[in-house]
Amino acid sequence: MVYCPDCGAENDAAATFCDNCGRRLADVAAAQATMDQAGGTSSAAVQQRRLANDGLPIGEDLDGEPGGERILWSGRPSRLFSPVKSLMNRYKLTNERLMIDHGFVGRRTEEIDLYRVNDVAVKQNPGERVGGFGDITIETTDATAPIKTLHNVADPDRVKDILREAARAERQRRRVLLRDEV
């Protein structure tokens, strides 16, 4: 059985989409398979968060500290749709922040703390849909980068789901509440 991280509904292990809310479950199934290969299930696995048996997010350890920062995803723009940006930009998502590197010879790095992420959206034109690429727009409360776009990312729906889940987990870890403007 696979539990949807958005609504908590129970689905068949072979399900592609959640029966209750329609969320894509491919990334959840991949995380579950990784946890099953590691052996056993923990209480975190029951909750279907992207956590390993040690209770830490799945991914490469970035700082070597237990409970520290781990890389959840890294990528760059598509060489097909934006060859110059693919040489100049690199994206790295950890369980605490999103890092965007710009430049080829000189380099500039922007970091966005995930607890500041308010909204994540995907935009795809027909050519990008066929190729499996798209732009991910991130709205934050960060003063220097209120809106950031990750251009021509491969499998943008999966990356959006990973980013949303990581932002939610980081807000819970820091005990940050979001306020809606009314």
CA distance 122 to 114: 17
What percent of the chain stands above pLDDT 70?
Answer: 76
Give the burial class of 123: count Cβ atoms within 10 A of its Cβ; 0-12 exposed, 13-18 middle, 19 or more buried.
exposed
Q: Environment class of residue 116 by beta-carbon count within 10 Å: exposed (0-12), middle (13-18) or buried (19+)? A: buried
pLDDT for 114 beyond 80: yes
| The pair of three-digit structure tokens given for residue 80, joined into one six-digit string | 């097909």
Domains and CATH numbers, the chain: 1-55 (no CATH), 60-182 (2.30.29.30)
pLDDT at 46 (0 to 100): 35
User: What is the structure's pLDDT at 82?
Assistant: 86
Q: Are 11 and 25 in contact (CB under 8 A)?
A: yes
Chain position carrying tokens 């329609």: 22
**Greatest CA span in the chain, whole angstroms?**
50
Give per-residue pLDDT as tens, 137-152. Answer: 999 998 887 999 999 9
Count of helices and strands (H, E) across the chain: 5, 10
The pLDDT assigned to 163 comes to 93
Q: How far is CA 180 from CA 89, 90, 119, 126, 162, in A?
A: 32, 31, 12, 33, 23
Distance CA 142, CA 115 (A): 10
Give 132's DSSP letter: T
Which of 44 and 27 is assigned the larger pLDDT? 27
